Structure 1
Amino acid sequence: MLDFLSRVFGRDSTSSKNVAKERLRLVLVHDRANVSPELLTSLKNDLIKVISNYMEIDEKALEVSLDSSEDQVALVANIPVKRMKRSVRSPA
């Protein structure tokens, strides 16, 4: 009941806060890695093209990001696989 009242009166800012925090984290990671959003989009498109040769993936749910830990940057990809392909399509 208290949760409902908090949401009605605008006190439930945790989701907005978490979204803003995640966006800020991504901006900082991109700055530290010197990677533009365009480069990350291009990388995502290349990953889709290559992985699609071997499996059917959910392109709309695919997430690619950079994660920073101290002095290292990691590429993190969450790629939902719908099914594996039986034969490999040769690149054109």
Structure 2
Amino acid sequence: MLEFLSRVFGRESTGSKNVAKERLRLVLVHDRANISPELLSSLKNDLIKVISNYMEIDEQALEVSLDSNDQQVALVANIPVKSMKRAKSLA
């Protein structure tokens, strides 16, 4: 959220320095969480399967990442929803 506000108000440039810092941050988070890129990809695919049961989503724009601070790691998912699916009758 803070990154978004910084971009909106022009405090963060989109230069290669910032891109490199963000990539390094993601690599460090993955290392700290002991999660391989393959496992993260598998997790993303499983999320798509489950969420697609309830919503039509933009799979190409879906972003899944890990974020961390000193004591914990958080799974962060940005899932663009195109529409909700109709609820099936329980019979």
**Aligned residue-pair number:** 76
Matched position secondary structure for 1:35: coil
Higher Rg of the two aligned structures: 1
Partner of 1:47: 47
Partner of 1:61: 61
Using the TM superposition, give the Cα deviation of residue 44 of structure 1 relative to its aligned residue in structure 2, in angstroms.
0.2
Matched position secondary structure for 1:70: coil
Runs of 4+ in 1 over 4 A off after TM superposition: none
TM-score (norm 2): 0.79
Partner of 1:72: 72
For 1:16-72, what per-residue CA distance to the aligned partner results, in whole angstroms no more than 9, with x for missing partners? 111111100000000000000000000000000000000000000000000001110
**Inter-partner Cα distance in structure 1 for 2:70 and 2:34:** 15
1:17 equivalent to 2:11? Answer no
**Inter-partner Cα distance in structure 2 for 1:59 and 1:45:** 9
Matched position secondary structure for 2:17: helix
TM-score (norm 1): 0.78
Q: Where does the alignment leave 5 or more consecutive residues of structure 1 unmatched?
A: 1-12
RMSD between aligned residues: 1.3
Identity of aligned residues (%): 87
Using the TM superposition, give the Cα deviation of residue 14 of structure 1 relative to its aligned residue in structure 2, in angstroms.
5.0
Q: Where does the alignment leave 5 or more consecutive residues of structure 2 unmatched?
A: 1-12
